[in-house]
Structure 1
Amino acid sequence: MVTVNMGTLYYVLDHVYGALLHRTKLSPPFFSRGWGGTKLDLLEKMINQLFPEVEGQNWPPNLVQPIWKTVWESKTACLREGVFRTPCDEQLYNALPPESHTARVAFLSPKFVPPQKMACVVHLAGTGDHAFERRLRLGGPLLKENIATMVLESPFYGRRRPMLQRGAKLLCVSDLLLLGRVTIEEARSLLYWLDYEAGYGKMGVCGLSMGRVHAAMVGSLHPTPIATLPFLSPHSAVVAFCEGVLKTPRHGKLLKKISPCTRPPRRRGSEERMRNVLSLTDVTRFPVPKNPNAVIFVAATDDGYIPKHSVLELQKAWPGSEVRWVSGGHVSSFLLHNGAFRKAIVDGLNRLQWKESPL
């Protein structure tokens, strides 16, 4: 009788899924048009500007005023969708494809509960998460806990996807940095809106897969305590694209070519260049969040995308944060452990003080 180790099975599933999705010619690879030319230099500079030299230098962000429409409502809840001009500065705005200039957000909230007695969590997109539905399903059951869910559609995704882009396969390396930088600005502006315009008593930010890195950065940079909830998270995109399942020889070959949005790698190999560029996403470089006890990582024991050491590096950089382990791999945990993600959201928010004590 053959005994199957479930951990090994989950790990193999991640690699099979990743191979089919990223290493075959069934679909175009990431970065099929190269580095991104002068945009890459701009993004490297602007990501470094995220780190404030003095407290509050990058706060407040530009305020957004979404234009809302009601999608549906019941006796106890309401779902609205909103649009707003992305609040990033003109350099970033002009670097974006026109399709990404307008941001979209879904907002699921309880009815007849004052905002100061509610919490709201901003959910950021994982790789390939083009729509609102998946994250709304994650947040929906939290309505009974008086926790609202705000879902941001990322630039380069959904209705914000450039015409020439296939699925989630970004055309240039610079697009990955641009997606992250603009997502951070939009999420920070939404949190500011929730705090100062809507008056929510507690706030948080979460993300799964790609969104977990962005959530960690947003939570790190926020000037007041919020719940920061990165799920299935590495400490850096280097782990995924240079070491994990997303690494593929096709990247190296493509990035050595010269194309309309490509430039030579300045006497460095393409893999070394990629590592140096993606090191800008290393969250251990970011400040410790204002309340590290409200930081909860949820990681998978047999994740083929994210090795355990990467999760633990981030926990070490943020003393007081917590790591919770679920059994499975990256893909299986994404499908099977929504309950663990919801519990982390509830527990992280419970570790915060109310902005105003509910009456």
Structure 2
Amino acid sequence: MLEKRLATNDKYAIQPIDSMQLTLLHPNPSASSSPLKRKLAKGHTRVGGRFPTTLRDGDLLLPPESQHACFELILSDPAMLMDATSQFPRVRVRGRGEALVVLLPGTGEHGCTHRRRAIAEPLARAGVSTLVLEGAFYGQRKPTTQKGSKLRRVSDLPILGMATIEETKSLLWWAKQEWGFEHVVVAGGSMGGLHAAMAASLSPMDVGVASWIAPPSAIPPFTRGLLSQSCNWTSLQRDRDDLALIDILLANHTNNQFDSSDTGPSQQHDVKARLAAFLALTNLENFPPPRRPDAVIFAHATEDQYVGANAQQWEMLRRRWHGAQFQHVKAGHVSGILFETQAFLATINDVLKQLKQPPIAIAPTIVPAVATTPPVAMDRT
């Protein structure tokens, strides 16, 4: 599904948001009849948002609980939130040509609290607003039958990714066209960093990327890294329905020569191979560079045991996304995300500064890649 779109001219198409519901979160109760802006003057301006998912066929691919996207919007200035009037009875946002960071969730992250406190609030104090998106299958979007952060089915993983990418693309358009933000950066740690790069790649607009301690694809962590140990391979071997769904999603994308009737020691290897072929659709090498590769920073950890060593993949991506910056963080995967927040904030600010500058002319690098034909709905030129 995703690979087919990458090879066609609708990869830059954006599904519009049908309806956006905004709710003021935690207004100051001590202010009685003062205007909304005065209520928020003493604290962060925090708005909750909700809209129907823009994932194509989301009503079929996502459980009912995940079919509405949820986010928190942390505004740097109370004046950016407009009072409701008789003509406009709902809360409205006014970006005023300023900057916005769209912050994507990491692996298994419920809610927005950690990202809001660690990243969004410091950015707001520095004058930058942030939209913190919740991922499908987590937080308010967690299916009732799902236990904690553990996805019920392996096939939920790429569906989660596709939902995040499409919802992010729609939010980028909304932030610029409806709210009036000018410079927009997509950022995220771990899985969120991978999805940030993908969303920017498929956006027809100038978008910056701050990818923090993320893998170049989902293959290494889930088939070779530490996360592969959390997958119940024996159960997956027995789960014919899940394997069948993987095969359906792989149909017409690979030469599917897997035999579901195999048994014995080779079957686990077969299941891993099928999953790797499925997750190959998440390989950034298959994604075209964004319009502003000079406003892209990839930061990966030197001691990352979750992702493992991927020097060859990073080198391929460096050639494909010519102009992007690649940085090393002396940390592990978890420690880099939890304890290197100041470095992450600095990276986001560096991307914003570069995005505000005129684009740097970059000579194209010829590497094998999927076809990149001009979009139908929106033109990137």
Q: Which residue among 349, 352, 356 is the counterpart of 2:355?
A: 352
1:161 matched to 2:155: no
SS of corresponding position for 1:50 = helix
Number of equivalences = 308
Contact 1:126 1:210 in 2 (8 A): yes
Given the superposition, is the C-alpha separation of residues 57 and 178 from structure 1 closer, same or farther in structure 2, using an over 3 Å criterion?
closer
**How far apart in 1 are the matches of 2:179 and 2:18?**
12
Q: Paired residue for 1:195? A: 176
Q: Paired residue for 1:16? A: none
Q: Paired residue for 1:24? A: none
1:289 matched to 2:290: yes
1:241 matched to 2:222: yes
1:267 matched to 2:259: yes
Q: Which residue among 83, 89, 93 is the counterpart of 2:59?
A: 93
**Which of 1 and 2 has higher RCO (CA within 8 Å, sep 6+)?**
1
Q: Paired residue for 1:48? A: 3
Q: CA deviation at 1:51?
A: 1.5
Q: Paired residue for 2:210? A: 229
**How far apart in 2 are the matches of 1:117 and 1:146?**
13
Contact 1:232 1:297 in 2 (8 A): yes
Q: CA deviation at 1:280?
A: 0.8
1:132 matched to 2:112: yes
Q: CA deviation at 1:317?
A: 2.4
**How far apart in 1 are the matches of 2:175 and 2:156?**
28
Contact 1:232 1:299 in 2 (8 A): yes
**How far apart in 2 are the matches of 1:143 and 1:245?**
35
TM-score (norm. length: structure 1): 0.80
Once the two structures are superposed, the pairs formed by residues 300-319 of structure 1 within 5 Å of their partners are: 300-306=301-307, 307-309=309-311, 310-319=313-322
**How far apart in 2 are the matches of 1:249 and 1:194?**
37
SS of corresponding position for 2:69 = strand
Contact 2:17 2:51 in 1 (8 A): no
Q: Deviations over 1:89-117 (max 9, x none)?
A: 3x232221011011111000122366234
Q: Which residue among 7, 21, 39 is the counterpart of 1:67?
A: 21
Q: Which residue among 158, 166, 185 is the counterpart of 1:177?
A: 158
The alignment yields a C-alpha RMSD, in angstroms, of: 2.2
Q: CA deviation at 1:180?
A: 0.7
Unaligned runs of at least 5 residues, structure 1: 1-45
**How far apart in 1 are the matches of 2:150 and 2:123?**
32
**How far apart in 1 are the matches of 2:122 and 2:231?**
42
Contact 2:11 2:202 in 1 (8 A): no
**How far apart in 1 are the matches of 2:208 and 2:146?**
34
Q: Paired residue for 1:110? A: 76
TM-score (norm. length: structure 2): 0.76
**How far apart in 1 are the matches of 2:342 and 2:98?**
20
Q: CA deviation at 1:123?
A: 0.7
Q: CA deviation at 1:272?
A: 1.0
**How far apart in 2 are the matches of 1:330 and 1:324?**
14
SS of corresponding position for 2:122 = helix
Contact 2:25 2:48 in 1 (8 A): yes
**CA radius of gyration, larger in:** 2
1:79 matched to 2:71: no
Given the superposition, is the C-alpha separation of residues 76 and 49 from structure 1 closer, same or farther in structure 2, using an over 3 Å criterion?
farther
Given the superposition, is the C-alpha separation of residues 49 and 259 from structure 1 closer, same or farther in structure 2, using an over 3 Å criterion?
closer
Contact 1:52 1:58 in 2 (8 A): no
Q: Paired residue for 2:341? A: 338
Q: CA deviation at 1:52?
A: 5.5
Q: CA deviation at 1:53?
A: 2.8
SS of corresponding position for 2:343 = helix
Percent identity at matched positions?
A: 33
1:145 matched to 2:126: yes
